Amino acid sequence: MKLGKIQRRSGVGRFRFQQFGVFVPVSFWPSFGFAQSFLQDQNELNAMLDLAPLAIAGGALACGVVATLWLARRKKTSVASPDTARHQMATMRSRLDEYEALLSALPELTLVWGEDSGAPRLFGTPQQLDDGLKTAADILNFSTWLTLEESARLAERLTDLRVGGRGFGIDLRTREGKTVHATGRALADSHVLSLRANGALPDSEGSETALPESDAAQSLAEAQPPETPVEQSVPLHIDGVIDAFLTPVAVFDAKGDLLQFNTAYCNLWQLDESWLRQGVNERAIIDHLRTKGRLPVVRDYQKWRREHLDAYSLSRSREESWHLPDGRSISVVAAPLGKEGGIVYMFEDQTEHLRLQSTNKSLINVQRETLNALSEAVAVFGTDGRLRLHNPRLSTIWKLPMNELGQKPHIDDVVRRCAKAFENDGERIWADLKHHVVSLDPSRTDYSGRIRRSDGMLIDYTIVRLPDGQTMLTFIDVTQSANYERVLKERNEALVAADHLKDAFVQNVSYELRSPLTNIIGFADLLASDSFGPLTPQQRAYTDYIRSSSAALGILIDNILDLTHVDAGIAELDLQTLDIEELIEKARAGLGATLAGVDGAEPVNLEVSVPKKLPRFVADGGRIVQILYNLLSNAANFSEPGAVISLNVEARADWFRFIVEDEGVGVPSEFSDEMFKRFEGKSVAGRQRGAGLGLSIVKTFVQLHGGTVTMEKREPRGTRVIVNLPAITRLNSAQTESDNV
């Protein structure tokens, strides 16, 4: 199809001037300016929307220039009636007014400074940025609706634009927390500032406010200059304009023949550009796409195609979504081309947008469920002091109705509500919290504390500064746990006090027992010495009982005192170089005094094995004797009369090993650990022996020296206890050296 035929079928108003060689299709400017709102990438969307006012202003400027040149041409070449000229001029002025109205209807504010550099012209609704803005002067007072830092930043960029002609595109944050994209451009002798609020927070369901793009497309498509009887043989220069758009665009005339398209349209549908330029209609294109599997899968294709082609009879724009077999989702906007008929298609691949939207909704749902499941109450206040986020726990702790919280109240409203719910201290508590929330101090930090409310509830709270300037408060009811903590603390203090009383009592009783016990031992020794005459066998037996029992009681008292000193942390080691054989003899003497045979009972037999040459042994002699005595006494208590008890000493490197073995019934393995605990006198083979302090003393003194003690069963019978002690105790090396000097 020839291009001239396409032009005649298009029904699009156009002007041609031979002496200038220029063709200006004015009606396409607004339509394709609108098409920029369907870009695939958000960054490209903002950039192209910034160009929308420029495109419309350019269209209006071109319309005026064309009208002026055309009227001048007509004045020279023909004698037109004055009424016709006035009618045409009025029509052009009407179209210019339409363009200004369309510019004001765009989803941004536009300020235009002309050559006179006076007050700018304002297009758009200032309330889009802030409810308090009404005029251009209000907008230029940046500090009233922007933060101080952002207002200074925008003022600097605007000065660079108007003085040096340097354009810019920046994102700004308002006092309400919104994001505003500002674009400044120089246009001939004019300067244009566009402001678009594109960062409003989504509502609680994650939805966003959609711009009325379909209505804008209809208005832009209908805003065309009047038909003018001029020649139409000049090539249509609109191709370059359409091809500059990243949004796929296709223009069809009233009969469905393809008039214009761009490269993005070919790429989207994978169509051959040379085939399209041969002159095809939309039916052929649709059928071709269906054979390639690039249209939605429907049950009745013929019906679907008829419904789709009904767009040629529309008076307003229409939008629909196509879900393709390859997984893509395409938004299709059909806008009427003009009064002569035809249609403009604009396509947008929304696959990624829908995926991100779905992901965003999922994240919001997860966030909501997470917040609702928390035991802490959460409240997030914006920079304007309004509640942005909360969970049901906040309503429970502070008795705030959920329906009021859902209205995003100001923190002052929360203070008043809590003052009513908690008359005694609700207002005071929240007034203090408000101070931390609305504070503008740049050095402010996170804060935490505890609230003791008049109703007895204890609440731990934390105030956290979020990166975007908002403030998060968390509250947790710790009343019950605090009560538990107080009870446990009081109980622990009581136990500590009781333990101190016990230690003091044991020490006092031990010292009080020491004096009469000494007297008993002295008189028993005096009787046994025959100083007052010989004793009968029965009397001597009784005297031996007294002496052995007194010796055992004395050792028990010493053990108790030693344990109290260890518990009090005042036990010290008296380190000296020791003779191991001498230590063993002292332990043997103590054992003989406490286990002397009575009434002909045969005492146990002690066998000692000590190597001839032993390395130097540095330790506390008195504590080592107690260790050996308690080991031998424990073995004797669980042995039969006349049984053999062995004590073997071994020297291994820097360690000494003392091994005590008996031939008793043996200690079961499940009792081996219990035997070293205090007051755990175990009954073995029906025999209860001792108060349960002997092995506890052994373990305590061995650990003081840095050694270890273990108990194991001896085959075929009996028990073996192994004590490992360092050859030189290093717990008090300085004292050891001073003693040896």
Q: Encode pLDDT of 202-217 as tens digits.
A: 333 333 333 333 343 4
Cβ–Cβ under 8 Å, residues 67 and 88: yes
Compute the average pLDDT of residues 665-694.
Answer: 60
Q: What is the pLDDT of residues 421-463, one digit of tens each?
A: 898 888 899 998 988 888 777 777 888 999 999 888 999 999 9
Compute the average pLDDT of residues 485-507.
Answer: 83
pLDDT of residue 56: 56
Q: Is 192 strand, coil or helix?
A: strand
Cβ–Cβ under 8 Å, residues 200 and 178: yes
Average pLDDT, the chain: 76
| pLDDT over 90, % of the chain | 20
pLDDT exceeds 50 at position 12: no
Mean pLDDT is highest, among 101-110, 232-241, 533-542, for: 533-542
Question: How far apart are the C-alpha atoms of 420 and 550, rounded to whole Å?
Answer: 78
Compute the average pLDDT of residues 720-724.
Answer: 92
pLDDT of residue 650: 92
Task: Identify the weakest region by mean pLDDT among 391-395, 516-520, 573-577.
Answer: 516-520
Question: How far apart are the C-alpha atoms of 368 and 137, rounded to whole Å?
Answer: 42
pLDDT exceeds 50 at position 222: no
Q: In what side-by-side order are the strands of the sheet with 343-349?
A: 258-261, 249-252, 343-349, 329-336, 318-323
Compute the average pLDDT of residues 405-420.
Answer: 91
Higher pLDDT, 6 or 534: 534
**What count of residues does the chain have?**
741
How sure is the predictor about 226, in pLDDT bands with cuts at 50, 70 and 90? very low
Give one DSSP letter per residue of 2-32, joined into a string. Answer: -HHHHHHHH-----EETTTTEE--TTHHHHH
Q: What is the pLDDT of residues 353-378, one digit of tens each?
A: 888 888 888 888 888 888 888 888 99
Compute the average pLDDT of residues 691-698.
Answer: 72
Domains annotated on the chain, with CATH: 3-230 (no CATH), 374-477 (3.30.450.20), 478-570 (1.10.287), 572-740 (3.30.565.10)
pLDDT of residue 236: 41
Residues 6+ apart with CB under 8 A from 301: 290
pLDDT of residue 331: 92
Residues 6+ apart with CB under 8 A from 495: none
Question: How far apart are the C-alpha atoms of 705 and 731, rounded to whole Å?
Answer: 7
Structure tokens at 288: 């071709």
pLDDT of residue 288: 92
How sure is the predictor about 13, in pLDDT bands with cuts at 50, 70 and 90? very low
Q: What is the pLDDT of residues 534-584, one digit of tens each?
A: 888 888 888 877 877 787 777 777 777 777 777 777 778 889 999 999 888
Q: Is the dihedral of CA 215, 217, 223, 227 positive or negative?
A: negative
Mean pLDDT is highest, among 43-57, 336-350, 512-526, for: 336-350
Mean pLDDT is highest, among 58-72, 132-146, 235-249, for: 132-146
Higher pLDDT, 135 or 22: 135
Q: What is the pLDDT of residues 591-618, one digit of tens each?
A: 877 665 444 455 778 899 999 888 899 9
Structure tokens at 290: 């269906």
pLDDT of residue 652: 85
What φ, ψ does residue 604 adopt, rounded to 5°?
Answer: -70, 155
pLDDT exceeds 50 at position 1: no
How sure is the predictor about 131, in pLDDT bands with cuts at 50, 70 and 90? confident
Cβ–Cβ under 8 Å, residues 145 and 177: no
How sure is the predictor about 713, in pLDDT bands with cuts at 50, 70 and 90? confident
Q: What is the pLDDT of residues 16-67, one digit of tens each?
A: 333 333 333 333 333 333 333 333 444 444 545 455 555 555 555 555 544 5
Question: How far apart are the C-alpha atoms of 370 and 649, rounded to whole Å?
Answer: 67
Question: How far apart are the C-alpha atoms of 441 and 682, rounded to whole Å?
Answer: 70
DSSP state of 311: G
pLDDT exceeds 70 at position 696: yes
pLDDT of residue 289: 93
Task: Identify the weakest region by mean pLDDT among 2-11, 146-155, 243-252, 632-641.
Answer: 2-11
How sure is the predictor about 196, in pLDDT bands with cuts at 50, 70 and 90? confident
* 716: preceding bond cis by omega (within 30 degrees): yes
